[in-house]
Structure 1
Amino acid sequence: MSVPAFGLGTFRLQGQVVIDSVSTALELGYRVIDTAQIYENEADVGQAIAASGIPREELFITSKIWVANFAKERLIDSLKESLQKLQTDYLDLTLIHWPSPDDQVPVEEFMTALLEAKRLGLTRQIGISNFTIDLMKQAIAAVGADNIATHQIELHPYLQNRKVAGFAQSQGIHITSYMTLAYGEVLKDPLIQQIAERLHATPAQITLAWAMQSGYAVIPSSTKRANLQSNLGATTMTLSDADMAQIATLDRGHRLTSPKGIAPDWD
């Protein structure tokens, strides 16, 4: 099993907006959908998937366990609730969304419970999200690096997260980049725009191609058909070594997501 390089994110999208986004994406050929318990859109995503008529085995569905459901007596039940909302018997990938605030639930407890969910067939693969190197080490100690399919982190040209990504990769743990377009900030970057112009591409395509060429999976979201279609074009683009090296210089440690009371002390 592996994590596909390109998919659709659904963060901040709810109701008819997310139904339309997922429906359009599936129609355009997307087959990877990323959601989470805390997005409160799993039922909407499930509705769009069911209505698409696409066979389940052709899809790759990811969701994430919220911090309130980390206790071992709660985690599996909460995952079963997610499955009901998503109208599926299993997830392809289930992630721990954030570390437990103040270590209220030990890493070993929730990782072991998540591994049990995998053994029960509720999820094909498991992984983590928003972990520091120390927390990754604890997760590896709990379930083994082989059982951690991916680590999903904020990663874009302005926050290249090299320490965390490097450690994960040294352990054979794949990286999924979220917020790859930095809420659109990097699309205005003169360097990205210059490369895009030269290659007759959009800044979004260049940024997504950069992440995938770096070895990361990406899950951009959009509510516009034209953007969903255009983003797909990134999967067939190749940037030169010079382009990749230039984009590497944009790193400035510019973090956009760090919720108070939940975010760890970042590396």
Structure 2
Amino acid sequence: MATKIPDIALNDGNTIPQLGFGVFQISPADTAGSVRTALDVGYRHIDTAEMYGNEAEVGHGVRTAGLAREDVYITSKLNNGAHRPDDARAAFQATLDALRSDYIDLFLIHWPLPTRYDGDFVATWKVLEEFQRDGRARSIGVSNFQVPHLERLAAEADVVPAVNQVEAHPYFTNDEVREYGLNHGIVTQAWSPIAQGAVLGDPTIADIADQVARTPAQVVLRWHVQRGDVIFPKSTNPKRIEENFRIFDFELDDAVMERITQLDRGESGRQGPHPDSFDYLPD
């Protein structure tokens, strides 16, 4: 029997597959083939972004996999250089054109950039609300938003983000942001779910993997699943793509879950930049 990926309900009435395939840092030349491999394995959610430079290749991979567009959930994200409303509108249309689709399942503000654009990510968010109203974005959300950013949206905007995609893994559980999401109906998507590979050699993870006869990556991804996170591991290795998919036929007990959670190092465990200061704009 084929593995059924759980769907998670969003606050807008839509659902999102809990496991996806990420294409961050996958070159355009390798993207279409990797996407086809993932779809052949059984993935039905692809996560890309304008800044990754491979949206067109994601679209090509989906089309050549022989699946109907409505059978594949696609997430993309707004380029950091396109936060001004008219720029955001043009960038969003460019995403649809690159994917060769008249809609996207989920579109996110990639970074809040509070030190850019006079800190006005609310105006950018209101443009995403337009995309949802006209049906070109089925769901909208944010990425790398901290609690104060989310509180500002709650006070000044009309739509609550459906998801918040943030760094989260055993070394940086990001509990404050996750807790806010749980309390306000915002699903957490975890990027860098294995801490860019840093947790895979951890003695605790290795010990648990031996106990449950799974790989360290499968153990960590399963931990995310049981916490309720949406995840999208990435790889160009077909064996690894399949391995990361096989995480729904075992469970971790409460004691094991807690052992992994206790690996949290707080801010020192963060692998990526801090959203309060990250200000990268593409050339």
Q: TM-score if structure 1 supplies the norm length?
A: 0.94
Counterparts of 1:140-159 in structure 2, within 5 Å, are: 140-144=154-158, 147-159=160-172
Superposition map of 1:1-267 within 5 A: 1-104=14-117, 106-144=120-158, 147-253=160-266, 254-258=269-273, 263=278
| 1:32–1:59 CA contact under 8 A, matched in 2 | yes
CA deviation digits over 1:225-252, x for unaligned, max 9? 1111111111333110000010011000
CA–CA distance in 2 between the matches of 1:99 and 1:214?
25
State the alpha-carbon separation in 2 of the partners of residues 187 and 233 from structure 1. Answer: 17
Render the CA deviation track for 1:5-27: whole Å, top value 9, x for unaligned. Answer: 10001101122211221111011
Q: How many Å apart are 1:142 and its aligned residue?
A: 3.4
Q: SS at the partner of 1:24?
A: helix
Structure 1 distance, partners of 2:113, 2:278, is: 9
Does the CA-based 8 Å contact 1:100-1:262 persist in structure 2? Answer: yes
Q: Deviations over 1:43-63 (max 9, x none)?
A: 111111111120111110000
| Aligned sequence identity (%) | 35
Structure 1 172/210 Cα, relative in aligned 2: closer, same or farther at 3 Å?
same
CA distances 1:197-229 after superposition (whole Å, capped 9, x unpaired): 111111111100101101111010011111111
Q: Is the 8 A contact 1:70 1:100 kept in 2?
A: no
- Is contact 1:80-1:122 (8 Å) kept? no
Alpha carbons of structure 1 residues 205 and 144: separation in structure 2 relative to 1, 3 Å: farther
Seen in structure 2, the aligned counterparts of structure 1 residues 52 and 211 have a Cα distance that, compared at 3 Å, is: same
SS at match of 2:115: helix
Q: Distance in 2 between matches of 1:152 and 1:108?
A: 17
Q: What secondary structure, in the 3-state scheme, does the structure 2 residue paired with 1:234 have?
A: coil
Amino acid paired to 1:212: V
One-letter code aligned to 1:71: R
> How far apart are the structure 2 equivalents of 1:255 and 1:51?
37
How far is the alpha carbon of 1:262 from its aligned partner?
5.4
| Secondary structure of the corresponding residue to residue 273 of structure 2 | coil
Letter paired with 2:147 = I
Q: What is the RMSD of the two structures over their aligned residues, measured on CA atoms?
A: 1.6
Q: Which runs of 5+ in 1 are unaligned?
A: none
1:259: how far off?
7.0
- 1:141, distance to aligned residue in structure 2 (A): 2.4
In 2: Cα distance, 1:154 partner to 1:8 partner: 16
Q: Report if the CA contact (8 A) 1:94-1:125 is conserved.
A: yes
Q: What is the TM-score with the length of structure 2 in the denominator?
A: 0.89
Judge conservation of contact 1:111–1:142 (CA < 8 Å) in 2.
Answer: no
Task: Tell me, yes or no, if the aligned pair for 1:180 and 1:208 is still in contact at 8 Å.
Answer: yes
Sort the Cα spacing of 1:185 and 1:87 in 2 relative to 1 into closer, same or farther, 3 A: same
**5+ residue gaps, structure 2:** 1-13
